Structure 1
């Protein structure tokens, strides 16, 4: 990739992409010139819709000839369907009434990324030192393809060298037995199956550790903690059918077009039947503006698009609490008018019977002045009242949110405020209503369900003790931020990573990479090479595993794995492709191999049997969680998945008060810091060519940025005020009040439509600017959506 950054307008002018089906290819190529341009105010943007031919172009541009091989097309045809395999990308649900092609642009990219013919072999590692590889870009590392052999880091030569599985298990076990279990972290990304996650958590607890952070700690832990506090359930309350019954949907801080594009299908259907959608987001995301359905031939051929949002309000970063307070304030005012006429806007019977704390919240909302709401939200009173009126007039409303709410210092207050809005009219626990956080990684929610948690109170430890004949640790483990703090102060001595790219994903990256190397042991289980595999402890192993698309054959035959989607439905998944290497083991087999080598014999624990037949692990999950997983093996291929239930959906409130709780926010700002001259609120973004830390390419098609990820997006007005010019190279420095110097250089200034006082750039490149202490107060989720920074020219 050319290091010289260009805008998408410049890139498209020189880029030609060959597509199948000649007429469509020519039509799409002609479309390219108009889809990305500069707007009337000279901001970089994308003129096309989300979906459509642009999605096909995005796939073919990256994968070229590799994407349309017969085996690949057969695999994509099985994606997200009963009896097929579940996408390794986002956690959006898999509907029972599925489409012919039940995958999106990013889902296809994730599958093709796994099915690549490229191989990262021992010969590659023999040709490159680890120090050299540390200088490579993330994209170039993963371009080396699938890992093929277990590898041991040789510190003397600074190379990874091949080893046997037996050697790796024995050496890792010896290190673990020499360490205090509380000094070892067992991290899990959101990709591992329910079967693997259950065994991994059991391994950690049999070893003596509750240090089980996962990728949720970096994105939706605020959901797990915040929702649990106010409605008694740690996940969303909606099911798929609710989206066909709602009258209005309120979106906050979620980029559906890039992060969960299949969600656009039910959204489009909802709009066409008259549902109103109101979006709050600092960035105008294409997927929530307009959509062309790739499953609809007429829309594809004519370019006919559906407008998704009736109102799109560009709230400034950290201003969601204020915006939500404005919505609630208007609803209360309209209820006053209605009651004067003998009617009611509020569902007062629901409030009286099912909620706690309404009077305190009502008082706070009435006393909060509009001037303060407008100042903090960056939105006008008129715009907020127009949005609130849609809520007033709708009988059934769903609230949807993403990391724009969770990754804030006062993120839990964000979620509490959205729940407040829904509770005013009883919009939780009825068909067509509810709160619906959209999760990222494909099984991040499910891992929590089956025991991946640092919080002992969330795990049935007494049940585990009875089943396996041991005394589980009862002391709280560390979450992601606490693990990082422990690595820095030396109390954490070992890290085992079940997938993911932890070192690249965390805040304070530069300081963390230095501290990381002081650990005694680091173990990474992965399919492809990433930067975390190059930052090693004194003893380090890289263990390659099967991908979800690949055949997992064990002693009892081909195996099925399961995962949970964002809507709490469980799905079976079977891989059919030939493994990338004969030396690969499944994730479950690797976990079992480590556990068997590390732990003393236990007559109640049968690692070999469980590895030989994953159905036996599902039986254990059912025994541990009988209410949610009854008849697990029989139900795992239920079309649309089987629903494990949600108490709040049934209006059973497992909170301290026994009711759904109204809350009063501690501040109108979710950002957690005050404005001052020269300080900006940095929003970190993911591009259209990205999933989490995986970089598929350098094209952010839906924002009109191409050729680089080293950019600073800023509004034209802010550019003029700061004396900046388009294309100028600048640095960002941290403006946190902790005296620590943090800096990222080499960022190209691009004009972009953003609220006043906000700037944006890409994750994870800008992670070094996020202080480890900058996190949600309740959950410690890193606050990556409003980071205090300054621009240095």
Structure 2
């Protein structure tokens, strides 16, 4: 049923990140999910060498963990998965799919864990229980009747290395490289940009680098909400007087002040650590211009130093020995005028000179960035420009220095390492052919955007989802939901109910799986799995709690049974043997990637993790030039073809609250931004509010400014005057994904440009939302 949303409360938050606010939020969700005692004890095993790896973010596990090695959001993820609430056949007997489609994301997931395999019954408009055997028999028949390239095998960042390897092998043995994953929606510009610039598609820093760095730069990454455990090394760095310079449109509390909840002294005295020593509120998409300005300052300062005989500012020896394209890059920076740099970045020349001066004095620098840099039409160029800045002073391949993209889901990077990719050149196809005696497909598969395009055009007939909430995560959600219903088959492997189950195809299944936190017993006994963190370390993970139901199965078991139902027998692939002992899957991974995985079985539980070899850390550049490449962007505008001269068109930035992880919403409070009881808000600069004739608290509707025939609107947003750059507005993901045109993506990586969406505002009326 629906009811009017309760009157929200908007109150400025003056406290730090962490502290009593985090402690109170955790206590509340433990009680709400009915596991106050067992849940608290379970958290002691989180991110420990002998425990389980967090199911949310991918931040590194230290070799010497804290007693409580979890953050507020990581604890919420664990409690959310281990809730005492259940969603079984009786739940679906009471609720039709049509009714459930009116529920919010929070209301759906909050009902609890899925307990039985389910098949959609169109006659009753309900999901009905089905046996595992019948489910796989029909799924196999449906898939065999389709062209393999009409099937999409999607993966969220949750699945382990073992499951991901098996899943990718199944898809390729079926005959397709349609293996998109959640990285297509966030950090694909990292994979493309870093690969072309330094030869490595991932970051170059490890956790230990934070112990010896002299400066940390932040670009478009909200550590307080998206990777709070990272605040611990940041706090330690600040105690060593290491400066931290932040570029971000909104002033995020986690980048301002932090109180360590594990410090009795800080908690009792309510003291906090200042995180950012400089905080620059760059405009949305202005990072490209801001970094150009810093590079321009450094190049000019180096010339002046050379002329007067002072030590050089640039690392000229590193540039001469290790880089290519320096002269062309210098010419680009010289040609950029300060008026344009200031206008596009939203920052003054003096601010950029201040940041560049500190950078020019630091010996070893880490550059941290997130989706604020990547999710633009020229997101790849933004990543490459950051590489340019780091190359100027040799800050790649040096202890205490490097590039640190903060990945989202806990194994999204690792899935790529073991073969989840639509790009055949990135998969070891010849090795797979040798090991398993089949001819892998060689044509490129669909990435996430291409999969969406295929669903809309009706060329994609089936979708298999290994975790995630694809329908809610992608752009153009109204168009996508309409097209989704034309699918012949949709299969979702999940722990909790979400909207992707309800927007179903003709034949639709929900297959409930074990969570990573649960004990997974197979033929050889309790199993362990492995995953890769943001710093390219592999870690083992052991389940700790009893499974939620006898009806759920492990992800490797589900993949193996699906593969057996789909594929002809292959004597070289022992699916049952792999499920019986996951160590055999790890042996297969090592055989496929011998240069990456050395003794994974023997070393996956070593404290601190097993480091993946990264050539760029050793200043070996796997690029076409054999060197690290300076690249010249097409200009200062990160979203050039979407820029409007009309003052009534604003740039929308989609945001996460501190009460959510990706599409999972834990509640309606965003403590750090002072929002309580609602997610239907629009953060606006006070000057824009006044200029457009609006008022704080007024209800408005938002429409996308897009040059096509489709109308994209979201209604019932409450205006909140907020400290955000003029011309920019902010609102929550995934609620505002409906405003992103599917074609609004990065030109090189095809990542949706969710951080700069041109929109118009008009006065609206409040709407009702689901209970």
TM-score normalised by structure 2 residue count: 0.97
The alignment status of 1:377 with 2:333, answered yes or no, reads no
**C-alpha separation in 2, matches of 1:213 and 1:418:** 26
Structure 1 residue 508 and structure 2 residue 476: aligned? yes
Are residues 698 and 408 of structure 1, via their aligned partners in 2, closer, same or farther at CA, if it must alter by over 3 Å? same
Residues 65 and 508 (structure 1), Cα distance of their counterparts in 2 relative to 1, 3 Å cut: closer
- For the 8 Å contact 2:30–2:39, the answer to whether it is kept is no
1:732–1:792 Cα contact (<8 Å) kept: yes
Matched, 1:334 2:301: yes
The answer on 1:713 being equivalent to 2:683 is yes
Structure 2 SS opposite 1:628 = coil
Deviations 1:741-785 (A, max 9, x none): 111001111111100100010000000000000001100000000
For the residue of structure 1 that corresponds to 2:596, the secondary structure is helix
Moved more, 76-85 or 340-349: 340-349
Q: How does 1:243-282 map to 2 (within 5 A)?
A: 243-282=210-249
> What is residue 750 of structure 1 aligned with on the other side?
720
Report what 2:265 is aligned to: 298
Tell me if 1:683 matches 2:653.
yes
| In structure 2, distance between residues paired with 1:200 and 1:364 | 45
Counterpart in the other structure of 1:12: none
Q: Which residue of 2 aligns with 1:238?
A: 205
Closer, same or farther: CA 433–67 of 1 in aligned 2, 3 Å: farther
2:354 is the counterpart of 1:404:
no
Distance, in Å, in 2 between the alignment partners of 1:396 and 1:88 is: 32
Partner of 1:319: 286
Question: Aligned in 2, Cα 1:355/1:226: closer, same or farther, shift over 3 Å?
Answer: same
Q: Of 650, 658, 663, which aligns to 2:626?
A: 658
Establish whether residue 726 from structure 1 lines up as the match of residue 696 from structure 2: yes
Q: Distance in 2 between matches of 1:223 and 1:608?
A: 37
Q: Structure 1, residues 261-283: CA drift from partner, whole Å, max 9, x if none?
A: 00000001001101110000001
Q: Please state whether the residue corresponding to 1:78 is helix, strand or coil.
A: coil
For residues 62 and 74 of structure 1, the distance between their equivalents in structure 2, rounded to whole angstroms, comes to 14
Matches for 1:775-790 after TM superposition, within 5 Å: 775-790=745-760
In structure 1, the residue matched to 2:135 is 168
Q: Offset of 1:73 from its aligned partner?
A: 2.2
State the Cα deviation string for residues 399-426 of structure 1 (Å, max 9, x = none). 1100001100000110011000000000
- Larger mean Cα displacement after TM superposition, 754-763 or 45-54: 45-54
Matched, 1:491 2:462: no
For the 8 Å contact 1:67–1:73, the answer to whether it is kept is no
Tell whether the 8 Å contact from 2:13 to 2:673 is kept in structure 1 after alignment: yes
Pair 1:417 & 2:385 matched: yes
- Residue 66 of structure 1 and its aligned partner are, at CA, apart by 4.7
RMSD over equivalenced CA pairs, Å: 1.1
Residue 22 of structure 1 is matched in structure 2 by: none
Hey, what does 1:773 align to over in structure 2?
743
| Cα drift, residue 113 of structure 1 | 0.4
**Structure 1 residue 59: deviation in Å?**
1.5
Cα distance in 2 between the residues matched to 1:498 and 1:626: 26
1:104 aligns with 2:71: yes
Q: Which string of whole-angstrom CA distances, capped at 9 and with x for unpartnered residues, describes residues 639-676 of structure 1?
A: 01110111111111111111111011112011232232
Q: 1:604 offset after TM fit, Å? A: 0.2
Do 1:319 and 1:671's aligned partners in 2 also have CA atoms closer than 8 Å? no
Q: 1:643 aligns with which of 611, 614, 618?
A: 611
Write out aligned runs for 1:526-675 (5 A): 526-672=494-640, 673-675=642-644
Q: Which residue of 2 aligns with 1:47?
A: 14
Q: Does 1:57 align with 2:24?
A: yes
Deviation, structure 1 residue 341 = 2.6
In 1, Cα distance between equivalents of 2:96 and 2:34: 31
1:540 deviates by: 0.5
Cα distance change on mapping 1:251 and 1:717 into 2, 3 Å:
same
Q: What is the match of residue 33 of structure 1?
A: none
Q: Distance in 2 between matches of 1:669 and 1:93?
A: 33
Distance apart, 1:144 and its partner CA: 1.1
* Alignment partner, residue 769 of structure 2: none
Q: Which residue of 1 aligns with 2:667?
A: 697
C-alpha separation in 1, matches of 2:589 and 2:511: 26
State how far apart, in whole Å, the 2-side matches of 1:576 and 1:380 are.
Answer: 53
Contact 1:679 1:790 in 2 (8 A): yes
Matches of 1:65 and 1:203, distance apart in 2: 40
Deviations 1:37-77 (A, max 9, x none): 4xxxxxxx321000011001112223326576432222100
Contact 2:34 2:84 in 1 (8 A): no
Tell me how far 1:7 sits from its aligned partner: 4.9
- 118, 121, 124: which is aligned to 1:157? 124
Question: Is the aligned partner of 1:452 residue 2:408?
Answer: no
* Deviation string, structure 1 residues 367-401 (Cα, Å, up to 9, x no partner): 10100000000111111110111101111111110
Q: How many residues align?
A: 759
CA–CA distance in structure 2, aligned partners of residues 54 and 398 of structure 1: 29
Distance 2:360 2:414 in 1: 35
- The yes-or-no answer on 1:437 pairing with 2:437 is no
Residue 142 (structure 1) aligned with residue 126 (structure 2): no
Tell me, in whole angstroms, the C-alpha distance in 2 between the residues paired with 1:531 and 1:254: 27
Please give the secondary structure, in 1, of the residue aligned with 2:464: strand
Indicate conservation of the 8 Å contact 2:35/2:84, yes or no: no
Query: Residues 334-360 of structure 1: CA distance to partner in whole angstroms, max 9, x if unpaired?
Result: 111211232201011110111010000
Which residue, out of 437, 442, 445, partners 1:469?
437
Q: Does 1:80 align with 2:50?
A: no
Tell whether 2:729 aligns with 1:764.
no
For 1:296 and 1:2, the matched residues in 2 are separated by 42
Q: Aligned equivalents of 1:458 and 1:716: distance in 2? A: 48
1:214 and 2:184 aligned? no
Distance 1:461 1:778, change over 3 A: same
Describe the SS at the equivalent of 1:385. Answer: helix
Which runs of 5 or more residues in structure 1 are unaligned? 10-36, 38-44
CA contact (8 A) 2:35 2:79 kept: no
Please report how far the alpha carbon of residue 8 of structure 1 lies from its aligned counterpart in structure 2 after TM superposition: 4.2
After TM superposition, give the deviation of residue 153 of structure 1 in Å. Answer: 0.4
Alpha-carbon distance in 1 for matches of 2:132, 2:294: 58
Q: How far apart, in 2, do the equivalents of 1:453 and 1:294 lie?
A: 39
CA displacement at 1:166 relative to structure 2: 0.2
Deviations for 1:298-355, whole angstroms, at most 9, x for unmatched residues?
A: 1111111100001110000011110000000111111112112322010111101110
Q: Is the 8 A contact 2:29 2:79 kept in 1?
A: no
Contact 1:5 1:706 in 2 (8 A): no
Contact 1:2 1:707 in 2 (8 A): no
Instruction: Measure, in 1, the Cα distance between the counterparts of 2:689 and 2:653.
Output: 16
Runs of 4 or more consecutive aligned structure 1 residues displaced over 6 Å after TM superposition: none
Structure 2, unaligned stretches of length 5 or more? 764-771
Compute the displacement of 1:446 (Å): 0.2
Q: Secondary structure, in 3 states, of the residue corresponding to 2:547? A: coil
Q: Which residue of 1 aligns with 2:358?
A: 390
Contact 2:578 2:584 in 1 (8 A): yes
Shift of 1:485: 0.3
Offset at residue 738 of structure 1 (A): 2.3
How far the C-alpha of 1:366 sits from its partner, in A, is 1.1
- Pick from 145, 159, 184 the counterpart of residue 192 of structure 1: 159
Aligned partner of 1:92 in structure 2 is: 59
The whole-number CA distance in structure 2 between the counterparts of 1:145 and 1:633 is: 34
Please give the secondary structure, in 2, of the residue aligned with 1:109. helix
CA distance in 2, matches of 1:351, 1:394: 17
**Residue 705 of structure 2 contacts residue 759 of structure 2 at CA under 8 Å; is this kept in 1?**
yes
Find the aligned partners of 2:56 and 2:296 in 1 and give their Cα distance: 39
SS where residue 141 of structure 1 aligns? helix
Kindly indicate whether the alpha-carbon contact (under 8 Å) linking 1:7 and 1:704 is maintained by their aligned counterparts in 2.
no
Aligned equivalents of 1:683, 1:716: Cα separation in 2: 16
After superposition, the Cα gap between the structure-2 partners of 1:61 and 1:337, relative to the gap in structure 1 and judged at 3 Å, is same
